[in-house]
Structure 1
Amino acid sequence: MKTRILGAVLGIAALSGLLVPSPAQAKDGVSTARVNPAGAHGGGSVRATVDFVNRKKVVFRNFTVRDICPGDNLPVRARIWWKHTDGTTGYSAWKWDRNGCSDKGTNFGNVTRSGSKSISKVYLQVAVNFRPGQWVYDISPIRDNQYT
């Protein structure tokens, strides 16, 4: 009888441990940002799954830029920002959605950032050209690298 009770208690404890997020789960995950300019009909969004591999490498899986309908013929672009542990920052080249009002946007696949410096934080930035020469921006929540 004691063995069965002990087994049940250990089983419940093990299952409970599986349901509690670990620090790695809290750091990696889906990041999104969206812009809806006031007075515009559409907007733009960016989405990627952030996957920190180690201190110096992060993969943005299915990096997707999307023009939000209804069609407004406004350009949409997005990029990745990162901050190093020494306080310096960097960013990727802009990626553009040039498909108009496609439901899926433009998927650029996996984008990898790695280098000689440790990466402490990352986020995504999206921009919509509201009027000629006037861009409206938004950023995703900042993700911390659990390996630094």
Structure 2
Amino acid sequence: MRIPLRALGVTVASAALLTVGLTPAMAADGHVYSRVLTYPSGGTSGGESDADLNFTGARSVTYNNWTINDTCPGDGYRVIGRARALLTNGAYAYGTWHEDEGTCESADWGPYSNLELNTSTNIVKAGVEICVDLGSSNKCSTSYRDNPHT
């Protein structure tokens, strides 16, 4: 039986497209960056956090090269950050709060690597939450990456 060359080409191209179609989901590991400003009216004081995320399964993510930075000019408020993940049941999982201790002139918290967030429920997406601690409340911002395992 002879297979026409054109049919073989369509089959190969279709298989290639299916393989490429899986690539974006596998590329979900990577960098996240989040910034929060102390004052909504402008200025640069506040905080920022960034990390490289590596999803190691449906229920776990590892944070690498993670930093938290209090940005200048100094506003007198501390900056805190933590790992945060949205779970398939709609709830959130959180890591421990970390602080950039000192002023905006001090060194960043980190970089830290191999910090894991493990949950008992599948993770839809994970990221970093950065907050300015205003005393009576926190002003926060969060950035996420999708989990390719869910």
User: Normalised by the size of structure 1, how large is the TM-score?
Assistant: 0.73
Q: How does 1:106-145 map to 2 (within 5 A)?
A: 106-107=109-110, 109-110=112-113, 111-130=115-134, 132-140=135-143, 142-145=144-147
Distance 1:86 1:134, change over 3 A: closer
Report the counterpart of residue 100 of structure 1 in structure 2. 103
Q: Which amino acid aligns with 2:125?
A: K
Q: Secondary structure at the match of 1:116?
A: coil
2:83, 2:117 within 8 Å by CA — same for their partners in 1? no
Instruction: Select which of 33, 53, 65 maps to 1:50.
Output: 53
RMSD: 2.5
2:51, 2:66 within 8 Å by CA — same for their partners in 1? yes
Instruction: Select which of 69, 75, 78 maps to 1:75.
Output: 78
Q: Secondary structure at the match of 1:133?
A: coil
Moved over 4 A (4+): none
* Runs of at least 5 residues in structure 1 that lack an aligned partner in the other structure: 1-16
* Runs of at least 5 residues in structure 2 that lack an aligned partner in the other structure: 1-18
How far 1:32 moved relative to its partner? 0.9
Report the counterpart of residue 32 of structure 1 in structure 2. 33
2:38, 2:75 within 8 Å by CA — same for their partners in 1? no
How far 1:47 moved relative to its partner? 0.7
The percentage of aligned residue pairs carrying the same residue is 26
Distance 1:97 1:122, change over 3 A: same
1:41, 1:71 within 8 Å by CA — same for their partners in 2? no
Q: Secondary structure at the match of 2:26?
A: helix
Q: In structure 2, what is the Cα distance between the partners aligned to 1:115 and 1:34?
A: 25
Q: In structure 2, what is the Cα distance between the partners aligned to 1:147 and 1:41?
A: 37
Count of aligned pairs = 128
How far 1:112 moved relative to its partner? 0.3
Q: Secondary structure at the match of 2:120?
A: coil
1:99, 1:106 within 8 Å by CA — same for their partners in 2? no
